[in-house]
Structure 1
Amino acid sequence: MTSIRIGHTASVLSNGKVLVTGGQDSSKELNTAELYDPSIGTWTSTNNMINARYQHTASVLSNGKVLISGGYNVNAGILKSAELYDPSTGTWTTTGSMANTRYYHTASVLSNGKVLIAGGVVSSVTNSTELYDPSTGNWTTTRNMANARQFHTASVLSNGKVLVTGGWNSNYLNSAELYDPSTGIWTTTGNMNNARGFHTASVLLNGNVLVAGGVRAAGANATLNSAELYDLSAGIWTITSNMTNARYQHTASRLSNGIVLVAGGFGPINPLNSAELYSPPTGTWTTTSSMNNARQSHTATVLSTAKVLVTGGSNLFGILNSAELY
């Protein structure tokens, strides 16, 4: 990449390119954005965002534009602003601001085209949620989650509901809840077997959800190698095989064959370059080749070519601008 970055986003556009936005370098939050072209394997800069931001979200809308929301920068603090990237022109425009400032939140594109923002940090950890309507450019608040949370995950299920898992709110959480877009109501569902934050959640081809890794408390011994499955039809969690390596702030990518690739993250002591594969039919993990660089808080994006693009993050040598393909 042209810039070193951590806490950035990476989004696959309708033209197959990948838009990377914001994050931090070694001294500041970034407003820069760049594009990766898988057909030639090169990066080019595109126009800067209106606001520098870190730990924001990026959502590809049904009209092809990318919605950037929230985040943080040292000059403005926690942001409520949102902006849209138009791939056809390479330009950014402001859109309606969120009801709340927030970062470390999640953003989920619903089947009706709206975007659900959940949790994160306002001034403290919040349970508030809101919806963005691309047709109007406006935000509306919706019902609060049962639990305030940050460092959680949000997954759009095959039935259109959104499953939120874990995270942190004074303690790490094992709770999970479901948002129903048709009613705007949250309902609690089965608790995970382990409290966890900074984990990953992957929707499998059979509709179930694989949760892997994370941390359950502070300290090296609290890093998790455990994994569990959410049964969509029953609303319960079952334990599956442990990963080879305990890790958090890693990535998980569902490949075209349904296997899930987990890469990098922070181990009990240091950032990892290891990667492993979860096979849903067997419920087992196998190691695969390691990345060229250890990295945590990076991004991993499944390309239209079926390869996985990993970008940025950090390791013991600092913040990275490197990218690699699996």
Structure 2
Amino acid sequence: MTGNGRLARSCVLALFVAGCGAEEGGGLAVQIFFTPAPGEAASELRGDPPADISDFRLCVTAQDMEGRRCANFSVADYQKAGRSRLGDIPTGNDRKVSFQGFQYSRQEASWCGELSGVTIRKNQTTKVSLFISGCSDFTATRNAMSSPRVFHTATRLADGRVLIAGGFKSLSGAPEICTAGGIQFSCLRLQATDQLDVYDPTRGEFQALTQAQLKHPRGLHSASLLPDGRVLLVGGCERAVLRLTFPAGPAPVLVVDPQDQGLGDGWGLAGATAEILDPATFTTAELPMTGVTPRAWHVPLAVPGGQVLLVGGTGPGDPPVELSTAVRFDPLSMAFSEVPALTLARHGSAPASFGDPAAGEFLFWGGSHAAGPQNPGLFAEILTVSAGSDPVSRTPAFVTTQVSRGWPGFYGANAELPSTGGTPRVLITGGMIVDKSFNNQDLPFTLNQFRLIDLAAGSETMQENQNFMSRFRAFHTATTLSSVITEQDEVMVAGGFISYDSVNGYKTQNWVEFFSPSTMAFTSKQVGARTVTLLIARAGHTATLLSDCTVLVAGGFTGDPPLTRLSITDTAEVFNPTPRALEHLPVVGDCR
């Protein structure tokens, strides 16, 4: 699926907000960007606001301000005067500007947006851009990415923009015959891209970096933001295969292509190389990775002090070799070294950091194989990383005390929740079982289980009173929403493959649900009579928490076999968690 005219159109509303008063004197010009509804004409020249609002509210707040400055404005008055005024804005740094658009008769906001880090200077007018989106809903970005992508990376840069790198851009139009480990199976082949995009959250649009590209096409790679603002991109592969049949029983469903019809294996030059991208110039420099194992499907961990640890994944082999080691990158020496790390080899795992970031602790769940019938084996471990020594793995208490509640899942999604009573918590969601030995299934199958884990050191436990998610999921995302906006702890779980069967293959979904640890339940959200869902079904996408507390959801597989063929999308959408109630007013704090 590619971008369409609706995604590419935009409207601009130019507001002029003037500060006044003896100690004030600061001006603020806010340029509003939004995506029109289907069939709505764009109006860049007129500067009209969204067609479905009659009024809007503008607020400015900051830590050092005595209360917030808010005012409501009529769209009709704005259109007549060409500007709106909001007085008594104190000068200073780190102001937050927020917008709510609403119908006066309903007194419920339908468009929301905010921008933090704004500076108001005396006797000067500060000009800012603000992308507004549907409150408590998903909104399409104003344009699409430059390429369809799945299993790409999305890295939030120091200035709030998001770097979209690599991923697989295409898959074979019809099933092919692949071979791994001497076993033939039907598959779809995926081809990586070297293209880069940057998403600007203040305008809601992507910029294709036509002047820059990756040194090598990559998918299933990693991207890490370094302390100096540069981005480290490591490993991955140029070609991968998505299994469609399983003649020898369940197996990992996405692997580096071990054989490519005489063209060499699917690693290409990606797996054994790395590169550094400088966002100031968007230039890339290749780094040598001699003496370490090439890898894909690995996990990048931020090491206290600025180093990066690339853990697990798969390495070259037929079939690809699963790895337990890690590669350490030192940004001072710009060198890589391989070190022991995990107790078991893992790939397709979704680790979560927890507790004090300075402690460098990460929970790994899944990505490893079953030990036997109904025996998940070492389905989880905790890795502690530091700059001065090798990683240390330990087994959390629940692996032995609550073994019946574990599973050897691949392709799940995890999220850290705020600590309660000083105890860190992690939510584990879904995934896929790919081991016949675990429950004697002939095909891989998706899961709807979840676990909320308390991670008090030495007494780690899974909470017992747990329900199921409303949908089965794998290759989905789990994102902790900011309580700055939602005023409560909440995790958004979105998309993923809902099922796999031998007739229809993989089916993507647009279903979204929200987990509340206070109720231990997943629920959906409503906008009027409509249930909030992704705009299109997705799996293998990315979900990135932005500095304005919204979430950018980008790319992925889409399709609903057998009605539509599985494809890769270049579209993206933004979820805005801001409540629709006009009583909800902005608070100090942001997601930066």
TM-score normalised by the chain length of structure 1:
0.94
Q: Given that residues 166 and 173 in structure 1 are in contact (C-alpha distance below 8 angstroms), is that contact kept between their aligned partners in structure 2?
A: no
Q: Deviations over 1:244-282 (max 9, x none)?
A: 111000011111023111100000242100001011222
Q: What is the CA-CA distance between 1:97 and the residue it aligns to?
A: 1.7
The CA distance in 2 between the partners of 1:26 and 1:76, in whole Å, is 16
CA gap of 1:57–1:264, structure 2 versus 1, over 3 A, is: same
The CA distance in 2 between the partners of 1:160 and 1:142, in whole Å, is 16
The CA distance in 1 between the partners of 2:547 and 2:150, in whole Å, is 24
Residues 176-325 of structure 1: matches in 2 within 5 Å? 176-182=380-386, 183-184=389-390, 185-189=392-396, 190-191=398-399, 193-206=406-419, 207-217=424-434, 222-233=445-456, 234-239=459-464, 240-257=466-483, 258-269=489-500, 270-288=507-525, 289-316=532-559, 317=565, 318-325=567-574
Residues 116-135 of structure 1: matches in 2 within 5 Å? 116-123=309-316, 124-135=321-332
Count of residues paired in the alignment: 326
The CA distance in 1 between the partners of 2:411 and 2:540, in whole Å, is 9
Residues 137-148 of structure 1: matches in 2 within 5 Å? 137-148=334-345
Q: Does 1:13 align with 2:13?
A: no
Q: Does 1:60 align with 2:228?
A: no
The CA distance in 2 between the partners of 1:7 and 1:86, in whole Å, is 22
The CA distance in 2 between the partners of 1:280 and 1:220, in whole Å, is 33
CA RMSD of aligned residues (A): 2.0
Matched with 2:273 is 81
Q: Secondary structure at the match of 1:139?
A: strand
CA gap of 1:284–1:112, structure 2 versus 1, over 3 A, is: same
AA paired with 2:533?
S
Matched with 2:286 is 94
CA gap of 1:87–1:77, structure 2 versus 1, over 3 A, is: closer
Q: Which ranges in structure 1 are unaligned for 5 or more consecutive residues?
A: none
Q: Given that residues 252 and 262 in structure 1 are in contact (C-alpha distance below 8 angstroms), is that contact kept between their aligned partners in structure 2?
A: yes
AA paired with 1:145?
L
Q: Secondary structure at the match of 2:169?
A: coil
Q: What is the CA-CA distance between 1:10 and the residue it aligns to?
A: 0.6
Q: Secondary structure at the match of 1:11?
A: strand
The CA distance in 2 between the partners of 1:86 and 1:125, in whole Å, is 32
Q: Deviations over 1:172-197 (max 9, x none)?
A: 76521122224522222232622211
Q: Given that residues 174 and 193 in structure 1 are in contact (C-alpha distance below 8 angstroms), is that contact kept between their aligned partners in structure 2?
A: no
The CA distance in 1 between the partners of 2:410 and 2:433, in whole Å, is 7
The CA distance in 1 between the partners of 2:287 and 2:462, in whole Å, is 39
CA gap of 1:280–1:77, structure 2 versus 1, over 3 A, is: same
Q: Secondary structure at the match of 2:433?
A: coil
Q: Secondary structure at the match of 1:208?
A: strand
Identical aligned residues as a percent:
30
CA gap of 1:201–1:195, structure 2 versus 1, over 3 A, is: same
Q: Does 1:43 align with 2:198?
A: no
The CA distance in 2 between the partners of 1:221 and 1:64, in whole Å, is 40
Q: What is the CA-CA distance between 1:221 and the residue it aligns to?
A: 7.6
Q: Given that residues 220 and 268 in structure 1 are in contact (C-alpha distance below 8 angstroms), is that contact kept between their aligned partners in structure 2?
A: no
Q: Given that residues 498 and 508 in structure 2 are in contact (C-alpha distance below 8 angstroms), is that contact kept between their aligned partners in structure 1?
A: yes
Q: Secondary structure at the match of 1:92?
A: strand
Q: Given that residues 144 and 186 in structure 1 are in contact (C-alpha distance below 8 angstroms), is that contact kept between their aligned partners in structure 2?
A: yes
Q: Which ranges in structure 2 are unaligned for 5 or more consecutive residues?
A: 1-144, 172-190, 239-265, 400-404, 436-441, 484-488, 501-506, 526-531, 560-564, 576-592
The CA distance in 2 between the partners of 1:78 and 1:121, in whole Å, is 13
Q: Does 1:114 align with 2:258?
A: no
Please identify the structure whose Cα radius of gyration is greater: 2
Q: Deviations over 1:135-162 (max 9, x none)?
A: 2211122223110111112222224212
Q: Given that residues 96 and 137 in structure 1 are in contact (C-alpha distance below 8 angstroms), is that contact kept between their aligned partners in structure 2?
A: no
The CA distance in 1 between the partners of 2:237 and 2:446, in whole Å, is 26
Q: What is the CA-CA distance between 1:230 and the residue it aligns to?
A: 2.2
Q: Given that residues 174 and 196 in structure 1 are in contact (C-alpha distance below 8 angstroms), is that contact kept between their aligned partners in structure 2?
A: no
Report which stretch shifted further, 167-176 or 121-130.
167-176
The CA distance in 1 between the partners of 2:494 and 2:377, in whole Å, is 23
Q: What is the CA-CA distance between 1:38 and the residue it aligns to?
A: 0.8
The CA distance in 1 between the partners of 2:573 and 2:377, in whole Å, is 33
TM-score normalised by the chain length of structure 2:
0.53
